[in-house]
A and B are shown apart, each in its own frame.
Chain A
């Protein structure tokens, strides 16, 4: 296991270059996220928000530059360190990444079986509690493909928070949901954040929701961080790229 550097930021991306095929997404992007912060990354569609999240947690490798987690380069992580990283990070990707040919119970139990030595009875109890905490109690045996979009998001969030991670990363948790379900999902995330006292890194294309969840807002557009600051300060500031984005204009 790696020696944690208490002074090191949670995530540090330095001079990242990344692109898909012939289209570059980031050129020399640098970003630091301190431990304990709740950060929201906002920006127009297809600006690289999900790509940035995947780079930060090592699902994608930068073409140049380096990503550090607690001061250690992800590219140097051993298999054991990756397992430890998975325990410390709760992740819910844009499509939730749920195993849709499995039941809700199996989706959550998989995480506990991989990372704990809990007995089957204990796993069953934990799964039931997690399902109830996101309002899905009684749906343990339902298959993921039978769930609605909102229920899938809830299950994805339950899985992300299941191991009580240090930081939870959510990729557009309200995408494609109606306003009522969106509201419920945001309330759920804020409740979890306060109850479990953990850091959040949330991607959203909806800035008003970002202000509710985050201490710090990042605006990503054209492969660059155009605005970075405390949520309240950016909310009140008039002019600037975030203000333009809030008004439905291209952030420049």
Chain B
């Protein structure tokens, strides 16, 4: 029991520290502004350069879901609803989670490792020696870039995921693409799209905050950087799963509540 208590305490403590870090970054960003040049530079490095990976991952996520759901629906002769179900699942649940997992490895690990290396090679201290604030100069542009890039990449990944489902249905499952698309509006409401977008934003924030925090607080040379990246990866993956459950439940609850309200 003791180790469970310690684990829980450490987790809560780390989450609290990450939240404080995010708050401080927000404060600095609002009070002193964001260095636009650095932001664009970082968005190019973490966003644009991650686009091909996201397109591949997104496309395959949609294709996998279409194939898997088709196996289940075929047994009930309900393949006609494949387009709607596959798209709904892609947008609301599996898509954001899988693409966020991929981004946590691509964007998150890169950011944690870069900031960690900067920390252990005195680059953060050098910025302070030069009279600048490393949070303002290094962290805030990266944090914002990771959040914005992750959100945009998630949204793009979801759209490509839908396209992947359409393509695989037409080419492999012999389901007419037009029929597939026609079923989408019946199963995918604006609420579903909103839920997917909200999850994408929250997952983007989680990847940005945790990875920047772990990188920024790395210590102990190369081993310390490795430790920071590992901690960031584990925390992001677990948080994404927990938040996916929480947001899905919240979305369902709110949806039901609002529908009752309308009645």
When distances are taken between beta carbons in the complex, the residues of chain A under 8 Å from B125 are 54, 59, 93, 97
- Interface contact B130-A93, CB-CB below 8 Å: no
Given contacts A95-B122, A97-B122, A100-B123, contact A59 B129 (CB under 8 A): yes
Q: Which of A46-76 contact B (CB under 8 A)?
A: 54, 57-59
Nearest chain A CB to B117 CB, angstrom units: 8
When distances are taken between beta carbons in the complex, the residues of chain A under 8 Å from B130 are 86, 110-111, 114-115
- Interface contact A82-B131, CB-CB below 8 Å: yes
Q: Which of B112-132 contact A (CB under 8 A)?
A: 114, 117-118, 121-123, 125-132
- Interface contact B129-A101, CB-CB below 8 Å: no
Name A59's closest neighbour in chain B (CB-CB): B125
**Contact partner, B126, options A84, A85, A97, A115, Cβ 8 Å:** A97
Number of residues of chain B lying within 8 A (CB) of chain A: 14
Nearest chain A CB to B223 CB, angstrom units: 16
Kindly state whether residue A94 has any CB partner on chain B within 8 Å: yes
**Contact partner, B129, options A84, A91, A94, A99, Cβ 8 Å:** A91
- Interface contact B131-A99, CB-CB below 8 Å: no
Name B126's closest neighbour in chain A (CB-CB): A97
**Contact partner, B121, options A86, A91, A100, A111, Cβ 8 Å:** A100
When distances are taken between beta carbons in the complex, the residues of chain B under 8 Å from A58 are 128
When distances are taken between beta carbons in the complex, the residues of chain A under 8 Å from B122 are 93-97
Contact with B along A93-136 (1 / 0, CB 8 A): 11111111100000000110011000000000000000000000
Given contacts A96-B122, A98-B123, A100-B123, contact A87 B129 (CB under 8 A): no
Instruction: Report Cα–Cα, A59/B119, bound state, in Å.
Output: 13
When distances are taken between beta carbons in the complex, the residues of chain B under 8 Å from A91 are 126, 129
Q: Which of B78-135 contact A (CB under 8 A)?
A: 114, 117-118, 121-123, 125-132
When distances are taken between beta carbons in the complex, the residues of chain A under 8 Å from B114 are 101
Name B219's closest neighbour in chain A (CB-CB): A20
Nearest chain B CB to A84 CB, angstrom units: 8
**Contact partner, A57, options B118, B127, B129, Cβ 8 Å:** B129
Nearest chain A CB to B37 CB, angstrom units: 10
Kindly state whether residue A83 has any CB partner on chain B within 8 Å: yes
Nearest chain B CB to A154 CB, angstrom units: 16
Nearest chain B CB to A152 CB, angstrom units: 10
**Contact partner, B131, options A87, A93, A97, Cβ 8 Å:** A87
Instruction: Report Cα–Cα, A183/B96, bound state, in Å.
Output: 58
When distances are taken between beta carbons in the complex, the residues of chain A under 8 Å from B126 are 91, 93, 96-99
- Interface contact B132-A93, CB-CB below 8 Å: no
Nearest chain A CB to B123 CB, angstrom units: 5
Report A's interface with B, CB cutoff 8 A. Answer: 54, 57-59, 82-87, 89, 91, 93-101, 110-111, 114-115
